[in-house]
Structure 1
């Protein structure tokens, strides 16, 4: 192989791999709960949105579609972190373990 065309691989250190794994693991619960929130116009999961009259909510979800008074979603960040962080850590650890095992297998 020609030395000019060879690529040099720089593996990521384990703390950075762990951070990337947890970030990738957070995508699944965010998409899951976000899709439920959008499809139900902020009514499900319960407690995630508090109805605020007018445009005062943090999310532009119309919680009273077809009604005379419009309500938007005031997002509950504490409950959202409770819903997202544990599954994100679980899926992140699974991604990290698979990534580590694949690296070890490739090194053999």
Structure 2
């Protein structure tokens, strides 16, 4: 599995609007994306920490295909949306293993 983490700095005064806009964008643009297993938005529990958006793809090729898709373009088209003009850091990982309880 190929995992993506995007750490997004959002000012506290924009947090609620960011959450609503980001979740609506996920609902509108991610349904049916080939190879996408799961996408989540994580709210920080301490002040000063970033939000984290995660995506889990079957493979790196699936992620790269999404980057080139209309879905990606639609999800990133509104440059004025809350959180779109803040700094972010994207990290990619390959899953080694999972333990479930």
Does TM-score exceed 0.5, indicating one fold?
Answer: no
Structure showing the higher strand proportion among its residues:
2
Higher relative contact order (CA 8 A, sep 6+): 2
Q: Which has the larger radius of gyration?
A: 1
Structure showing the higher helix proportion among its residues:
1
Q: TM-score normalized by structure 1?
A: 0.29
